[in-house]
Amino acid sequence: MARKLSLILGASVLSGCYVDGGDRTYLTDLESATEIQRQAYMSGAPGSMSAAMVGCVALPEDFSGQISVFGEGTYEDEATGQTEFLVVPPESSEKTGSIELALPIGGYEWTCYVDISRNYTSDTDGVFTYSIIPDRDNLMVFTAFGNSEPPSPGPEAFYYLYSLASHQLIADESDAGHWELVSQGLNSDNYLHLATENGLYLLQSKQSASGESAEFYRLDENGVTTLANAPVVDAIFFINNMFVSVSTEYSPEMHTDIRYSADLTVWSDAVSVAGQIRKIHFDTARNVYVAYGYDDESGDALGYVSADLLNWESEELIHPAMNPDDYPLYFFANDAAVAYASTNNFPLIYRASSTASWQAVSDLPEISGGFNVIASAMGEDGQLRLLVTGLDLGSSPAFFIGTSDDGADWTWNQIPLPAEEIYLNNMVLSTDKTVVWNSASESTIIWTEDNGLNWNSVNTDVIEEQLIPYPDDIDIAVQGMMYRDGVYLLSIGSSMYGMMNFLQGMVVATTDFESFNVVSVYRRDSLYAQQADGVYLFVQQDRVNGNTTDIYRYVPQVVETETPAEDNSENEEESPVNQDPVNDPVNNPDVEPAEKVLNGSSKSGGSLFWLSLILLPLAGLRRKSA
């Protein structure tokens, strides 16, 4: 029998019943059958509903393997009570034609199967099993599952698309990129997320009758590890191979406890500082940690610096108008710093050195007013990039990309907006591009490869044309974007009624913003915005068993490449890398920072030179006919 790499996913609500998403990845071969199962549960209060299960499967047009379909489960019979059934449902040309119109997948053919109507209760369920002997080492299959009768007026095929899911059958897990289940069934409410090069950490603080307690999990290629002695914290950061936590106490006076740990199990004693600390950064020029937040009395920004995470001194030159909640503080290698402020008088502030005073940046784009920083990111090259908006000299909204290598000198380039574009609110940096777009609705993805001198653009309707060629136009929104190893992963959705339900979980990939491929789809899928080095993290909500999360790790295809060895024989110096992460930063002051911030971006980081993420063209979907 085929082996499974992942387990049953969460469920989607389907008018009175839940339908699980099936397994994400299967490890199989060309001789054994792989069983893809879709299961439906009745939802809501005790009672019953009459339903005829419909299961649809899309296979490549040139598929030469074998497939058989059967249904099973239990239902409530008037004469015999709860009764088991096992059937081979017949094909339905009507249902097949309906879903072909709603989602014609290029190179694929849909086939739908329909069971008879049965009476289901809260104690019964129905399962469709697609038993497939594949004809290739890497096979992508799509399935949809639901009730034969639509629950409400509207296109019938939408009903099955609510449960649209993808499944990948691979012969060798090293030969194809795939999703690998890391964790299943964790309670997903109110977790703090921290991604490092070594894995993803989830931290949750809970209130109980005996006081607060915390749960801490590490997720990596080895699965889930529960960490003991987890602290109750408000935020946690990963800096210089150290985990640094902050926790604000409000009695008897407001103060913040700062702790650090090398392994998340042994923690330093708490060091208390006045006020509410919100963020901690590392200043590479001064080789000190900088903590900043709010003064509890005045509400102004305050800051502290420390060389060892134990002894903190007040940072008097923190500007009182800085906004620690909304905007980060950026440090440059020349000892300069840039921050945003919360007043119109100081929209962007600059400090030439740690001993200089803050002043407003005067080198701003030519605007008549309304300057506002929307997004920011510092690349691995130390260059800071800002996405800003303001009123141009004609008092119309305009958007600019600003770049600076030292915080003092800025280059501003206006972004040419297409006529239909009115707003931009997101920015992603890659090794060669700055990409901006509006995530709220159908948008134009705009990018530059030369810091704004020249621009390219593509409207998200291209994704619609390639992936969802429905007869009527739909609005495709790019709700999130991640970049890794030359590939952009886009989490998409739609503001169109009905389409949102299945597009909400679609993840597509592109390398050039011209050709897009489906990587995964299920309506409760979402990309986690941060990722550990070399992997993508995939989140799946499960509403049947409560608010739980199944977390998947994207394992890329591994391609070994030869890299010439560097000759370091001359002027060889000891590399400033912390070889022993247990040592605290007091004994290792020259550690090159690898800073990770909770729900923030890394300012430095490496990549595994022998890993190359190859997203195979899993499903090239048919363009809309002219």
At position 136, the amino acid (one-letter code) is R
User: What residue type is assigned to position 200 of the chain?
Assistant: L
- What is the pLDDT, as a whole number, of residue 101? 79
Distance in angstroms (rounded) separating the CA atoms of residues 467 and 478: 13
Residue at token pair 């980060």: 328
Kind plus residue range of the DSSP H or E element containing 93: helix 93-102
Our CA dihedral for 182, 183, 189, 195, rounded to 10 degrees, sits at -30
Supply the pLDDT for residue 59: 96
**C-alpha span between 222 and 532 (Å, rounded):** 14
Amino acid of residue 123? D
Cα–Cα separations (whole angstroms), residue 504 to 63, 373, 466, 478:
29, 28, 17, 10
List strand residue ranges (DSSP E) for 231-287, in order.
235-239, 242-249, 255-261, 271-274, 276-283
- Please state, in angstroms and rounded to a whole number, the distance separating the CA atoms of residues 159 and 114: 14
> Could you state, in chain order, the average pLDDT of each consecutive group of 10 residues for the chain (626 residues)?
30 43 82 88 62 90 95 88 91 88 82 90 82 94 79 52 83 77 70 77 66 76 79 87 90 90 89 92 90 84 92 83 75 90 71 88 84 87 91 84 93 88 86 89 89 92 78 76 83 62 74 88 65 57 58 69 51 36 38 33 26 30 30
Give the architecture (CATH level 2) of 233-362+581-601.
5 Propeller (2.115)
- Rounded CA-CA distance 130/66 in Å is 10
Predicted pLDDT of residue 622: 30
Q: What pLDDT sits at residue 117?
A: 87
Whether omega before 617 lies within 30 degrees of 0, making that bond cis, reads: no
Give domain limits for the chain: 3-176, 233-362+581-601
Residue that is written with structure tokens 């080492």 in the block: 137
Which pLDDT value is given to residue 65? Answer: 96
Residue at token pair 């392994």: 263
The pLDDT score that the predictor gives to residue 580 is 35
Q: Omega into 150 within 30° of 0, i.e. cis?
A: no
pLDDT value of position 38: 87
Are 74 and 94 in contact by the 8 Å Cβ rule? The answer is no
Nearest to 481 by CA among 424, 434, 519, 428: 428
Beta 25-27 vs 165-170: how paired, if at all? Answer: parallel
Residue 411, both tokens: 């280059």
Structure tokens, 438: 């509006």
Domain 3-176 part of CATH 2.60.40: yes
- Report the pLDDT value the prediction gives residue 114, as an integer from 0 to 100: 92
